[in-house]
């Protein structure tokens, strides 16, 4: 609610959340192009480093370390690589895994239980019960 808070300087009595104003703000935020599309210098820097053999994690970490004015996170770089623009440049080839599409992340498989729940301790064999 605070993100879509509306306040007009010309009409100070109207303050708060209004659905129409919130929808317009949301549409404005969504229509903004992605960072690597908007900033060509940043895009060239990222693509050059990818072609030099850097991973997206290394690029993002180096930008944070250097305190760059425009930075991107590793997920932004991966999304650009696997977007229409990145696939046209075949940037996926320079990644360590050389995958043309991203592999979905999955949770690990649950292991079967070591002991069956149907077997109760009350039904032990006599040899075991009287040790």
Output the tens digit of pLDDT for each of the chain's 131 residues: 566 777 777 777 777 777 888 888 888 877 778 888 888 999 999 999 999 999 999 999 999 999 888 889 999 999 999 999 999 999 999 999 888 888 887 888 888 888 777 777 777 788 887 87
Question: Which residues are registered as beta bridge partners of 5?
Answer: 17
Can you read off the two tokens belonging to residue 70? 């425009």
Same domain? 72 vs 96:
yes
Q: Are 48 and 4 in the same domain?
A: no
User: Are the C-beta atoms of residues 50 and 82 closer than 8 Å to each other?
Assistant: no
Domain co-membership, 5 together with 54: no
Residues 8, 46: one domain?
A: no
- Specify the pTM: 0.61
Residues 3 and 43 in one domain: no
Q: For position 129, what pLDDT does the model report?
A: 78
* 93 and 51 within one domain: yes
Q: Please tell me whether residue 129 adopts helix, strand or coil conformation.
A: helix
Do the domain assignments include residue 72? yes
CA dist 78 to 11, 19, 25, 88, Å?
Answer: 44, 34, 27, 14
How many independent structural domains does the chain possess?
2
CA-to-CA distance for 115 and 123, rounded, in angstroms?
14
Distance CA 97, CA 4 (A): 41
pLDDT at 23: 85
* Closest CA relative to residue 35, chosen from 5, 54, 60: 60
Domain range for 84 is 35-101
Per DSSP, the chain holds a count of helices (H) and strands (E) of 7, 2
């Amino acid at each position: 609610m605070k993100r879509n808070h509306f306040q007009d300087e010309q009409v100070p009595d109207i303050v708060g959340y209004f659905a129409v104003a919130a929808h317009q703000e949301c549409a404005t935020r969504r229509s903004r192009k992605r960072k690597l599309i908007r900033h060509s210098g940043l895009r060239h820097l990222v693509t050059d480093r990818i072609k030099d053999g850097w991973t997206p994690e290394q690029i993002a970490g180096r930008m944070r370390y250097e305190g760059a004015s425009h930075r991107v996170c590793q997920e932004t770089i991966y999304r650009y690589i696997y977007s229409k623009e990145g696939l046209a440049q075949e940037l996926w080839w320079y990644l360590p895994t050389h995958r043309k599409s991203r592999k979905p992340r999955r949770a690990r498989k649950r292991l079967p239980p070591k002991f069956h729940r149907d077997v109760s301790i009350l039904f032990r064999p006599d040899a075991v019960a009287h040790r």
